[in-house]
Each structure stands twice: as structure tokens, then as C-alpha cells.
């Protein structure tokens, strides 16, 4: 007897020709990874030969071929061709041997699970699906909560028919696959009660940059179709993969709370599902706990290690048992196939006002007219080269997505259909904007920028932008370590391929300003705030009962993404260096900050850290650094103190840090000082006795050496970092620090703007130069040339 049905445990990943990529992968995991903690719901698969036998039994081969020939000859349109073929297949009858085997397998699955008419997911698995050069994302159908043998057979027919949906036909034409050489296997898998739990999608690398040390997880309440389709804005979690095997660490780099406005649950009858609104409580809390995030990330790492390549996975959590399951796994098909030896960088210049923002996909920039289409039935209105704006996409949209300059959606996360297909097509996309279809209108000229980190921006009009192609093989080696200046954690991962020597300056205040947004003292003393401000802070800290914990966790996670990309190279994190007017602009900040006529040389930097007015806020900064280094594992982080005016002030700051768990020298902690006040140069030996190194901040050092307000337009001509007095300061601190064995770096903007300045620093014997990422290549070349000069 020919076996038309095979149990998952009898399959291996080499069985793609027999059961398609999806089912072969399920079988591989069931058979080989169960002992490594990978749970996959049990089930069985019909073979590709069963599909061919079904087609032949119903005399459909010639009829399908004739219909497709009419389509290629333009005698019939795509919609009519697809509808005709699907109707033929749905109306077919089962060969008796296949019918008997499916019924027997389903009865045995019910027995195994101890449930009569056990609910199953019925998934399509094309024999050419999930190949390395094509994702076939969602091209065929999946049916959930199917109960009973009769409903199962009907769902199987519909799966067969879905091999010829309009989108599947179109996609195969795009990828050059012959229709008659592709067959369909059906996977029948026990349903996980994710309708009362949660589910989502997971990648074993960063989907936007190809950064290999990250696991990206999206999560929503209920069944997973909403996440896959992009119908909801899910939670997003990022995990640092190399630390997953280190006991006691929690290397979660980011947790973003998604709107999760609805969830898909079981319908009232078998084979039925429906969407219902989520509760306020569900929208206000994360789907996954930290231990669950780490458990899923470990599964992703295990699966990737087994397959030997980056993977794209779907997962589900059973609401009854709390167990986590992998329900699909396939090779990642975009980033893993890019040239790792080169990358293209986009930079946005002058631009119009920000109209909208969302999650960026693709890293590129595009301009063009908007074309708003809210229903796939209207895709004929699309204009080639326009920017497609829609609520969500599904595979029916692929024919016009490939003709678009960029894509914008109201809903969806970075693992939604729109995001996956945009990456595959090489298009920039911004998903989850919320209101794009309401705010934007047809023929409106906009710029879509995905070049500024995880947040994508839609700018009014046509922005200026530049493109740089960097071949990593062309970057020379240097004795002088060239590092990066980083502020935006979301953009840090873009530069993971650069062979930088670490991060010479990570600005803490960027994270506070953009991720935390509230003044730390306002979080500590909400009773001092007016009702309106307190309401805003309550909304900002949604999901956190302890507002201080919100500050600590957000700051630690924000900095962790910078630390992760550079690990194990050093990352120098400067403690907060807002001026009082900038602190006052934070939410709730006005009541905690004095008014100063000249904040630039006022209550800033080190002087704040031991002051009664800010010491509790500084304690939160210290707690975040302690969490970053000790709980998350990023012991490559070095702390730097800005604007430290005297050695006595240094002593007070170090004492406060030690009282907050950050003692210089313990657990390998190094503490640097910014060299930006002339006293840092004049008393260099005394400062060197208190700190492990100096980092020259040339903007403030120039300002205070020349007595020139760096923000004054009238004095702009006098502000010159190459002035002889400033150069004396730089040269002298390097000489004096080196004489007592202290390291000196340079983190000012000058080497980024002026390559000759980099040569000057090499001549002075600087240890490290830290520059903006977009100028890294030019500075690195200039440093190499300078090192050749005797």
C-alpha cells in the first residue's frame, strides 16, 4: 500500500519533495529536538503524491493546464483563472485509499491526545515552499480550530485549492517556478490553546540589519494569524543570543508594548475563528513574562544551531497549561542571503515636517507620490512607482507591492506580512503607523525614511538624502583604535558590520529623552506633580507599577543595544549631561530644575550627582548601569563622568557611585572622566589618579579655553578647535596622562567633520578616536595614512 500520510516523527528536513518545507521542518524538530526542550504539537502530513493522485483522480491536470495557458495568453484574467481552478479542486472527490488514510490518522491523533474530534490546524506546505531564495510567505491557506473528520477533509480540499489563489499564481510567476512542478502537502497539527494564551513570530537574527546575535520576538494575545497578517501591532522583544547560556543573566535588550487591539479566538463551531477586542488590561500588559521571553529565545538559538542557519519561527503559548510550543520553523530568506562583506547606508539631510512614524523596515529611503488603497479589490488603481499606503497587506497584495517605491501600513509589526514581503522585495516600509490611511492622501509627495533606526519617518515633500556603499574589505587596519559615537540605540544595530574598536561615547541623555521622556525626580516624587502631568506619566509608564523601575529598565535596555553590538569591545557610557533647561523640558521637569542664565556652565554634569536636588535621580542612573553590567551581562560598559571641575568633585562623585553599587575596580568597573574643562588639563595628574582614562570633549574644551559660547551665531567664526590654545590643551593632556599610565581618547565631532584633525590627533599619540558612524570609513583611512607618516 502506498503511504499517503506520514506522521511528523517519521519525517526529516530532507523530505521537502515529499511533504514540502513546512512539514519536513516540523518532522525534523519532532524527531530530533524534543530532547533539547523544543516542543512541537503532534500531527501528520499528507504527501505531495497524494495531491497529484487527487488531481489525477478528478481528471484536473489538463483542465488546470488549459486554464493557466489561457492566462498566459491573456485570454482570461488572473481572477477568473484562479477562481476556476480553485472551484475545480474544491468540487473533487477523494480517492478511497487517501480518504481512508486521512480518516485513520485523524482517529489515531484523537486517541493520542485523548480528545474526541481533537481541534487541529490544517496547514498548506508546498513542495517548493520555504526554499532559501523564496519565502512563499502566506501564499497558501491555513485553517484553524478544525474539528471532526468531515470538517478536516473539507479543509484539506480548500488547502489544495489554495495552491492556486491569485496571489500564489502571481508569486510563482514572479519567482519563476513552474506551476505544474509544484505540489501541495497538508500538515494536520494538534491545536495549541493559544486562543486563551498568546502567540507570535520569532526570528533568530535582526530582521532589518542581519545582526546575528539577536533574537527578535513578536507577541499578541490569541491565535497567531493576526501577527502573521499584520492585523495587530504586537509586543516586540529583543534578546542578546550569546548570553542565553550564562546562568543568572537576563539579556533582554528591549521590550516594546504593542497596542494589541484585538485577538483571534475559537469560534462557536468547529473550523471557525473570530476576532474580538482585547481588554484594557490585556492592552496594558506584555503578553510574555521575562522567563518566557528567555525560554523562547533559547528555543530559537537551539533551532538555529541545529539547522545551521538563521530561522523564522512561529510559536504559541497554551492558555490552559502555560506551555510554549514551536508550530512552524523555516529558513530566514532575506538577511541571511545578503553579502556580508558590504552594506549600503542611507543618510537623510534637509526634510519637511514629520507627518507620521512607525516601525521601519529595510533601512532605505524612498520618495514619491502617495497611493492610498484600502481594499485589495481596488489594486488596479495603483500607479507604478508610487508609495503604497494601506491598512494591512496579505499575499493578495504582492502583485502591486513589487511595483511600489515604498509601503506604509496602519497596522502590523516587524514580522507582519507587509514587513516580510517588503524585505524580500528590497523595499523600504513603515508599518504600524496607526493612521496612515487617514492622514495621507493620493498624489501627496512624501519621503519614506527607514534610515534612522527602528522608528521610520514619513516626511512631507521630497527630502534630501545620500547613499553610501561601504566595502568592508577596503577598510584598513590601524594601531590607533577608531571607535564610534552613539546616541540612538535603535540605530546602533545598523552598524554592526563596521570593524570599530567599540563605542567611545554613548550618550545616556538620548535614551532618557526619547525612551523615558520623564524627569527622573518626577518619577520618584509623583506627588509633587499636577494632575495633568501625573496622568501623562501614568500613561507613559503603563505596565510598570514602580515608576522608578520604569526608568531603570528603560535606560538599561536602551544602553544594552549599544553595548551588545560592540561586545566584548569597550562601550563608554557617559552619565547624564543635560543642562538645567534641557532637564526642565522633560515631562514633569519644571518643578525640579532651577532657572539659570547660562546653563552651559551651570548646574550640569558631576555637580548634580552628589547634590541633594538630583542625587536620587543619579541613584536611578547608577541602578541602570549596575543592571546593565551585572544582571544583563554587559561588563564591557565603562562609565564616564562629564563636566567634572575639580579633583575634590571627582572624589564626591566616586563616593556616591560606590554607595549606589558602582565602585571603581569592583567587577572590573572602569570609570573615565570627560576632559572638557581646562582644569582637567591643568590638573591632569590628579584626575588620572582618580579615573582610569580621559575622553576629550573638544566642543566644551574649545568653548571654555577660548571663552566662546559654542551656540552663539555671532561668535561662530571664533569657535575653532584647531586654535593653537585648544591644540595645546589636547596635546598636553595626552602627554601628561600617558606619563602616569592613563589612557586618552577623543570623542568630539572634529575628526568626523575634518579628516585633517584626525591626522593631528594621531601625531599627538591619541589612544582612541571616536567618530560618527557615517564618517568612520573616511576617518579610518586618514588615521591609516597618518600612521604611515614618520
pLDDT digits (tens, 9 = 90+) for 531-547: 999 999 999 998 888 99
Question: Is 371 an annotated catalytic residue?
Answer: no
What is the predicted pLDDT for the residue at 543?
A: 81
Task: Quote the DSSP letter at residue 512.
Answer: I
Residue pointed to by grid coordinates 508599518: 431
- Mean pLDDT across 322-341: 83
Compute and round to an integer the Cα radius of gyration of the chain: 29
What is the predicted pLDDT for the residue at 559?
A: 97
**% residues pLDDT > 70 (the chain):** 96
Indicate if the pLDDT at residue 134 is higher than 50: no
Burial (Cβ within 10 Å: 0-12, 13-18, ≥19) of residue 645: middle
- What is the phi/psi pair of residue 173, to 5°? -65, -40
What is the predicted pLDDT for the residue at 758?
A: 84
- Mean pLDDT across 476-491: 91
What is the predicted pLDDT for the residue at 339?
A: 64
What is the predicted pLDDT for the residue at 337?
A: 65
Q: Per the residue annotation, which of 156, 159, 371, 747 is the catalytic one? A: 747
Looking at 437-595, which runs of residues are DSSP E strands?
Answer: 445-449, 455-460, 465-471, 481-486, 503-507, 571-574
> pLDDT digits over 685-704, tens only?
999 999 999 999 988 999 99
Q: Per the residue annotation, which of 417, 450, 622, 675 is the catalytic one? A: 417
> pLDDT digits over 630-677, tens only?
999 999 999 999 999 999 999 999 999 999 999 999 999 999 999 999
How far, in Å, CA of 504 to CA of 768, rounded?
A: 8
State which H helix or E strand residue 219 sits in.
Answer: strand 214-221
What is the predicted pLDDT for the residue at 790?
A: 66
Q: All 3 cell numbers of residue 332?
A: 530566514
How far, in Å, CA of 507 to CA of 486, rounded?
A: 7
pLDDT-derived band at 341 (thresholds 50, 70, 90) equals low
Cβ atoms of 227 and 199 within 8 Å: the answer is: yes
> pLDDT digits over 294-304, tens only?
999 999 999 99
Indicate if the pLDDT at residue 466 is higher than 80: yes
The number of CA neighbours under 13 Å toward the Cβ of 246 is 13
| Residue in 307, 312, 353 with CA at minimum distance from that of residue 330 | 312
What is the predicted pLDDT for the residue at 713?
A: 78
Indicate if the pLDDT at residue 504 is higher than 60: yes
What is the predicted pLDDT for the residue at 128?
A: 61
- Mean pLDDT across 14-32: 93
**733 Cβ contact partners less than 8 Å away, ≥ 6 residues apart:** 675, 680, 681, 684, 694, 696, 744
The partner residues of 537 in beta bridges, in order of sequence, read: none
**108 Cβ contact partners less than 8 Å away, ≥ 6 residues apart:** none
What is the predicted pLDDT for the residue at 662?
A: 98
| Residue in 116, 128, 279 with CA at minimum distance from that of residue 196 | 279
Looking at 118-213, which runs of residues are DSSP E strands?
Answer: 120-126, 142-146, 184-190, 198-203
How far, in Å, CA of 443 to CA of 425, rounded?
A: 23
Cβ atoms of 60 and 180 within 8 Å: the answer is: no
> pLDDT digits over 326-335, tens only?
999 998 877 7
- What is the phi/psi pair of residue 370, to 5°? -80, 145
Q: Give, in degrees to the nearest 5, the angle at Cα 306 between 304 and 309.
A: 40
Compute how many other C-beta atoms are within 10 angstroms of the C-beta atom of residue 280: 8
- What mean pLDDT is reported for the chain? 92
What is the predicted pLDDT for the residue at 397?
A: 82
pTM above 0.85, yes or no: yes
Looking at 614-682, which runs of residues are DSSP E strands?
Answer: 637-641, 671-675
Indicate if the pLDDT at residue 752 is higher than 80: no
Cβ atoms of 671 and 638 within 8 Å: the answer is: yes
pLDDT-derived band at 270 (thresholds 50, 70, 90) equals low
What is the predicted pLDDT for the residue at 421?
A: 83
- Mean pLDDT across 557-568: 96
**Which has the higher per-residue pLDDT, 712 or 134?**
712
Question: Is 747 an annotated catalytic residue?
Answer: yes
Amino acid at each position: 500500500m502506498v503511504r499517503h500520510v506520514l506522521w511528523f516523527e517519521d519525517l526529516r528536513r530532507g523530505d521537502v519533495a515529499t511533504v514540502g518545507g513546512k512539514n519536513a521542518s516540523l518532522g525534523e524538530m519532532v524527531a530530533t529536538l524534543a530532547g533539547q526542550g523544543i516542543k512541537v504539537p503532534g500531527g501528520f502530513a499528507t504527501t505531495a503524491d497524494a495531491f497529484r493522485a487527487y488531481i489525477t483522480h478528478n481528471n484536473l491536470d489538463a483542465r488546470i493546464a488549459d486554464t493557466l495557458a489561457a492566462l498566459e495568453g491573456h485570454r482570461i484574467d488572473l481572477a477568473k483563472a484562479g477562481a476556476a481552478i480553485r472551484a475545480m479542486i474544491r468540487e473533487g472527490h477523494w480517492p478511497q485509499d487517501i480518504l481512508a488514510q486521512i480518516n485513520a490518522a485523524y482517529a489515531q491523533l484523537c486517541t493520542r491526545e485523548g480528545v474526541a474530534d481533537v481541534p487541529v490546524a490544517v496547514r498548506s506546505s508546498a513542495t517548493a515552499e520555504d526554499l532559501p531564495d523564496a519565502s512563499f510567505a502566506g501564499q497558501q491557506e491555513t485553517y484553524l480550530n478544525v474539528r471532526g473528520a468531515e470538517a478536516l477533509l473539507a479543509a484539506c480540499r480548500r488547502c489544495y485549492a489554495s495552491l492556486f489563489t491569485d496571489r500564489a499564481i502571481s508569486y510563482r510567476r514572479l519567482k519563476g517556478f513552474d506551476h505544474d512542478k509544484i505540489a501541495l502537502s497538508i500538515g494536520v497539527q494538534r491545536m495549541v490553546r493559544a486562543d486563551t494564551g498568546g502567540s507570535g513570530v520569532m526570528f533568530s537574527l535582526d530582521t532589518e540589519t542581519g545582526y546575528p546575535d539577536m533574537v527578535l520576538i513578536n507577541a499578541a494575545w490569541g491565535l497567531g494569524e493576526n501577527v502573521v497578517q499584520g492585523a495587530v501591532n504586537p509586543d516586540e522583544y529583543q534578546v542578546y543570543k550569546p548570553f542565553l547560556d550564562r546562568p543568572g543573566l537576563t539579556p533582554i535588550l528591549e521590550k516594546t508594548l504593542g497596542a494589541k487591539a484585538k485577538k483571534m479566538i475559537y469560534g462557536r463551531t468547529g473550523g471557525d475563528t473570530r476576532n474580538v477586542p482585547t481588554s484594557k488590561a490585556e492592552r496594558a500588559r506584555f503578553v510574555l513574562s521575562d522567563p518566557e521571553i528567555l525560554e523562547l529565545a533559547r528555543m530559537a538559538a537551539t533551532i538555529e544551531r541545529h539547522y545551521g542557519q538563521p530561522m523564522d519561527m512561529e510559536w504559541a503559548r497554551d492558555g490552559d497549561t502555560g506551555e510554549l510550543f514551536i508550530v512552524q520553523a523555516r529558513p530566514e530568506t532575506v538577511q541571511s542571503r545578503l553579502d556580508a562583506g558590504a552594506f549600503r547606508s542611507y543618510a537623510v539631510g534637509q526634510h519637511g515636517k514629520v507627518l507620521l512614524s512607525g516601525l521601519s523596515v529595510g533601512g532605505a529611503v524612498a520618495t514619491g507620490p502617495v497611493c492610498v488603497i484600502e481594499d485589495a479589490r481596488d489594486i488596479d488603481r495603483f500607479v507604478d512607482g508610487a508609495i503604497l499606503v494601506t491598512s494591512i497587506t496579505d499575499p493578495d497584495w504582492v502583485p502591486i507591492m513589487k511595483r511600489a517605491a515604498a509601503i506604509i501600513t496602519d497596522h502590523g509589526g516587524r514580522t507582519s506580512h507587509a514587513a516580510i514581503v517588503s524585505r524580500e522585495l528590497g523595499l523600504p516600509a513603515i508599518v504600524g503607523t496607526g493612521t496612515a490611511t487617514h492622514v495621507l492622501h493620493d498624489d501627496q509627495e512624501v519621503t519614506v525614511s527607514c534610515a534612522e533606526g527602528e522608528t521610520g519617518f514619513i516626511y512631507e515633500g521630497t527630502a534630501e538624502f545620500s547613499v553610501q556603499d561601504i566595502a568592508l574589505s577596503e577598510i584598513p587596519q590601524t594601531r590607533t583604535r577608531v571607535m564610534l559615537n552613539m546616541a540612538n540605540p535603535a540605530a546602533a544595530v545598523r552598524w554592526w558590520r563596521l570593524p570599530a574598536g567599540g563605542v567611545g561615547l554613548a550618550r545616556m541623555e538620548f535614551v532618557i529623552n526619547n525612551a523615558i521622556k520623564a524627569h527622573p525626580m518626577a518619577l520618584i516624587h509623583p506627588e509633587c506633580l499636577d494632575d495633568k502631568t501625573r496622568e501623562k506619566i501614568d500613561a507613559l509608564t503603563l505596565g510598570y507599577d514602580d515608576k522608578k523601575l520604569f526608568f531603570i529598565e528603560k535606560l538599561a535596555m536602551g544602553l544594552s543595544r549599544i553595548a551588545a553590538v560592540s561586545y566584548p569591545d569597550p562601550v563608554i557610557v557617559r552619565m547624564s549631561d543635560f543642562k538645567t533647561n534641557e532637564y526642565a523640558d522633560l515631562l514633569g521637569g519644571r518643578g525640579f530644575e532651577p532657572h539659570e542664565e547660562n546653563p552651559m556652565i551651570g548646574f550640569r554634569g558631576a555637580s548634580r550627582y552628589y547634590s541633594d536636588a538630583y542625587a536620587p535621580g543619579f541613584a536611578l542612573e547608577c541602578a541602570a548601569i549596575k543592571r546593565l553590567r551585572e544582571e544583563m551581562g554587559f561588563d564591557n560598559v565603562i562609565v564616564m563622568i562629564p563636566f567634572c571641575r575639580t579633583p575634590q568633585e571627582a572624589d564626591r562623585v566616586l563616593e556616591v557611585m560606590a554607595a549606589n553599587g558602582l565602585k571603581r575596580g569592583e567587577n572590573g568597573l572602569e570609570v573615565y572622566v570627560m576632559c572638557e574643562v581646562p582644569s582637567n588639563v591643568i590638573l591632569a595628574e590628579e584626575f588620572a589618579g582618580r579615573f582610569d582614562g580621559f575622553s576629550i570633549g573638544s566642543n566644551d574644551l574649545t568653548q571654555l579655553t577660548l571663552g566662546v559660547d559654542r551656540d552663539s551665531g555671532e561668535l561662530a567664526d571664533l569657535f575653532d578647535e584647531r586654535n593653537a590654545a585648544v591644540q595645546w590643551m589636547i596635546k598636553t593632556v595626552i602627554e601628561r596622562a600617558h606619563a602616569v599610565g592613563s589612557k586618552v581618547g577623543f570623542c568630539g565631532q572634529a575628526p568626523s567633520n575634518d579628516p585633517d584633525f584626525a591626522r593631528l590627533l594621531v601625531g599627538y599619540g591619541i589612544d582612541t578616536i571616536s567618530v560618527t558612524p557615517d564618517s568612520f570609513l573616511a576617518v579610518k583611512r586618514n588615521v591609516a595614512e597618518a600612521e604611515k607618516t614618520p
